[in-house]
Each structure stands twice: as C-alpha cells, then as structure tokens.
Amino acid sequence: MAAPGPRSNDPETADESACITTIVDTIADIVPKLRTAFETHRSYEGDYNPSGEEMLAADVYADELLESRLGGLDCIGTYASEERADPIQVGTGLSIAVDPLDGSSNLGSNNGVGTIVGIYDGDLPASGHDLVGAMYVLYGPTTTAMVATDDGVTEYLCSDGQREVLTPSVSLPETGTVYGFGGPVPEWPSAFRRYAMSVQRRLKRRYGGALVADVNQVLSHGGVFAYPSLETRPSGKLRLQFEANPIAYIIEQANGLSYQGSGSVLETEPERLHQRTPLFVGSPEPLAELIETLGGKATPPTITTRHSPWE
C-alpha cells in the first residue's frame, strides 16, 4: 500500500469550528430567500463572469446575498466568488470561496442546482490542504446541506431557515452503484474513455449537469463522478477554488478519493483564482481503478479521516 499523501489538513481550531457553524447556520437561514429568487430571477443578464459564462439573474442575486451575509460575519476576512474577478476583503479571518449557484443552466429546466462553499485558512487562491471545512447546499425536492469538517461529513435537512441532522456521519461505500461523467464523449482522453466503457457495464448512469446534484448521487449511492479534461478544455471545466477543492474535501472526509490526473485534487498547486481542473471523485474501488487506468498510483486519502478506507 502506497504511503499516505505528503500533507494533511490541519485539524481546525475551536474558533474555526465556531466559524463553520455560523456559516452553516447563516446559509440555512437564507435558503428560503434563495429558493424564492430561483422563481423570480430566471433571465440572463447579458453580463459574463471571469470564466466567460453568461450570468443568470439568480447567479448575481445569490452572489450578492451570500457576500452580504457571509461577508458580514466577524470570522470571515475574505469573500471570493466564481462570479467575481477578484476576492474582496471584508474583515479579518477565514477566506471563503463560493459558487453561489452551481448548475445555473439547470434552473430553466427545473432540475437540481446548488451552492458550494470552500472555507480556507489562508489567502486565495489557496491549496485544498488549507481547507478547514466545506459544504454544499442541494436545492432539490427538499433542500439539503452536506457539511464537511475534519470530524467527518454530516447531512442536514434545511427547512424554514433552520437545519436538522438527516445523516450524522456520511461515509461512501467501497464500490457503489452510480456514475456520472461530464463533457462530450468524443472529446474524452482515450484512457478515460476506456475506463468509462468498463464502468458503464457495472454502474448505473446518473448525470444531470449540476456538480452538486451529481456528486450528491455519488455520496448517497456510492460510485464515481468525473469531469475530465477535454480536447477543447485541456484543463477541464470545473474551477479548483470554488468547485473541485470543496467537493474533493467533502468526498475525502466521507472516506472517498479524489483525483485530478496526477494526484488528489487537494494537492493541486493553486496558481490563479479561477483556474480549472479535471475532477474525479467517488468510492475507493472505482476511483482506484480510474487512477490506475489513467496511469497513476492509488494512494490513501490525503487528509486523515476517522474511518480511513485504507486502514
């Protein structure tokens, strides 16, 4: 068995734990407002975000509401969002990187969308190893929140501005039953295509076009999510700071694995705030097979977890 990864996420301090709790409570409180905005902010505004994507009115609304409420917390020093070119200083404390509305293109078709928050102890762009916590909200038939700290992953039901525990300790099964792969098949790298042909014989296809909703399927049933590099997107589509790092942290804290082509997503060198990365996350067995197929060496999660699948 290969040695564990070179670095681990430092356990968060009592202040960081308190800050994470306040962030989660604040987001639970604004969920009803966000859901209402999804009904009334459905048009494209003609403005483009730093990744060159046209923003929905709901993208802008969610970003402004999250900036005002999270940026107003005493424990937050920096607010950054995929909708803004640069981070903004809002005080002293932790840095948060937010995808205010993930899966925006699903709003018009009334499919699942989400919000992703990475909570870093360090200046942005930061390493995944600077994460002290991460969460996502999934706006589906019900609204749920998946919250990861170095104590593990807890799922909450968000209702009427409150949250209640739904799953106290989320842990991925060794193999699972679903897969979701993004991007046009003809543009996949040949090694990934070989892997996909193999996996689809054993797992059920679950792909809906919103990272949070697709990853939540994997966390619920076990399996694998992938958005690989493409011919037209050699660095992949998903953003490291706002999407890949927080999702990889949640998955690894739930005893799964993440990979980006040469190692754990959390090992990726942060170069630019809006840099993109290939993203592979999921249960240990399908991820180990994927890593080997892509020419890598499956190693244990890079963050120490209480229930490491490698013990």
Ligand X SMILES: O=P(O)(O)OC[C@H]1O[C@](O)(COP(=O)(O)O)[C@@H](O)[C@@H]1O
Least Å from the CB of residue 307 to ligand X: 27
Look-up of token digits 């293109």: 105
Contact stretch for Mg ion (CB under 5 A) within 31-39, 101-109, 219-227, 282-290: 101-109
Residue choice 12, 16, 67, 99 for contact with Mg ion (CB under 5 A): 99
Least Å from the CB of residue 102 to Mg ion: 3
Binding to Mg ion (CB under 5 A): which residues in 205-244? none
Residue closer to ligand X, measured from CB, 41 or 237: 237
Query: Number of C-alpha atoms within 13 angstroms, CB side, residue 217?
Result: 22
Q: Is 243 annotated as a binding residue?
A: yes
104 binds ligand X (CB under 6 A): yes
CB within 8 Å of 113: residues ≥ 6 apart = 38, 101, 102, 103, 104, 106, 107, 139, 210, 212, 213
CA distance 297 to 289: 10
Phi, psi of 139 (to 5 degrees): -90, 90
Residue choice 16, 67, 99, 252 for contact with ligand X (CB under 6 A): 99
Residue closer to Mg ion, measured from CB, 12 or 102: 102
Least Å from the CB of residue 183 to ligand X: 6
Q: Is 101 annotated as a binding residue?
A: yes
Least Å from the CB of residue 248 to ligand X: 14
Rounding to the nearest 10 degrees, give the CA dihedral for residues 8, 181, 119, 30. -150
210 binds ligand X (CB under 6 A): yes
CA distance 278 to 285: 19
Residue spans of alpha helices (H) in 14-140: 14-40, 57-70
Residue closer to ligand X, measured from CB, 12 or 67: 67
Total residues binding Mg ion (CB under 5 A): 3
Look-up of token digits 């009803």: 32
Residue closer to ligand X, measured from CB, 75 or 116: 116
Picking from 132, 158, 133, the residue whose alpha carbon sits closest to that of residue 145 is 158
Are 242 and 201 a contacting pair, CB within 8 Å?
no
263 binds ligand X (CB under 6 A): no
Residue choice 67, 102, 130, 150 for contact with Mg ion (CB under 5 A): 102
CB within 8 Å of 242: residues ≥ 6 apart = 80, 81, 82, 97, 98, 99, 116, 118
Residue ranges binding Mg ion (CB under 5 A): 99, 101-102
Provide the annotated binding site. 82, 99, 101-105, 207, 237, 243
Residue ranges binding ligand X (CB under 6 A): 53, 99, 102-105, 182-183, 209-211, 227, 237
